[in-house]
Amino acid sequence: MPDPTSGTPYPGVPSSPPFPTNPASPSGGGASYGPFHGDPYQRPAESNPYGFDAPPGRRIEPTPPPNRGRFLLGLLAGLIAGLLLFGAGGFFAGRATAPEQAAPTPEAAPTSLGVFEQSQASLNAPDFAGTGLVTLSEGWLPYLSTCGRSGTPGGPKLSPGEKVRVRCTLDGMSAIFVEYDSVAERDKARVKAMGQAVDARTLTPGVGPATEGPTPSGRTTGNYVEYAYRLTEGGTTRTVSGLWWDDSAKPVAGFLLAYWKEGLGEKWEPMRDLWSRYA
């Protein structure tokens, strides 16, 4: 199977008083009627300098009719003031006597890995131990299965220029990690993948451009390449899609391989999703 190569895809009160205040005295004809004017039904009295007549005996002044509008207005104002006073007092009294609410207990942070993932990481780690692939493979270990290392029974065979190859399966895909003899050998393999990236424009529509930069985890920085090729097995030819990324500082690279139709449903998103989670 060909080697792949490179980058990163990467909210009414009257206005006048009830008693007239005009002290005008009658002049000429008959006097007008009013509390402070001569009463036509009473005996005339001597004038005084203030312009109104003093009655001969004690006089009972008429009481003006009560102003109902003013009474109702005062009653309404008293009710509102009472509601405000007792309402506010009740609110603060309730606040003072209410029991304090217990502070919410923070939920315990979930463990980063479940029991199964921890077990897988322990099982897979030995296949990468003692190689330059430890950092590159770190985020993948809990999710890989059936890993095999070159030089062990049933392990993958090395291609020219390779020092160590570890092949695993991941959700219907192959995940391969390779340590090369040198950076130059690693770059040769990436150039081959870059050539297959041109074919991928026709074989696998939607292929992304090659890029260079850090992986989502920031553990490594290097090249990212999406590519594709045709593979014939047992008389059947199918399209294989690949995703390559490497670490510019070391002679290492990783790549994902899957059948374009049967494995990915003719979409790049599933493969990119896995890479963005674990790389």
In sequence order, what DSSP letters do the residues of 86-144 get, joined into one string? HHHHHHHHHHHHSPPPPPPPPPPPPPSS-HHHHHHHHHHHHHHTTSTTHHHHTTTGGG-
In a domain? residue 265: yes
In a domain? residue 60: no
Distance, in Å, from the CA atom of 267 to the CA atom of 273, rounded to the nearest integer, reads 11
Q: What is the DSSP letter of 141?
A: G
* Residue-number span of the structural domain to which 239 is assigned: 115-278
In a domain? residue 95: no
Q: Write down the pLDDT at residue 112.
A: 84
Residue 111 tokens, joined: 């463990």
Number of domains the chain contains: 1
In a domain? residue 260: yes
In a domain? residue 36: no
Could you state, in chain order, the average pLDDT of each consecutive group of 10 residues for the chain (279 residues)?
42 38 40 36 39 39 52 59 54 51 48 90 98 98 98 97 98 97 98 97 98 97 98 97 98 98 97 98
3-state SS, residue 104: coil
Whether the CB-CB separation of 143 and 190 falls below 8 Å is answered with no
In a domain? residue 28: no
In a domain? residue 185: yes
In a domain? residue 190: yes
Number of Cβ within a 10 Å radius of residue 90:
10
Distance, in Å, from the CA atom of 225 to the CA atom of 207, rounded to the nearest integer, reads 9
Residue 25 tokens, joined: 């005295």
Q: Write down the pLDDT at residue 18.
A: 36
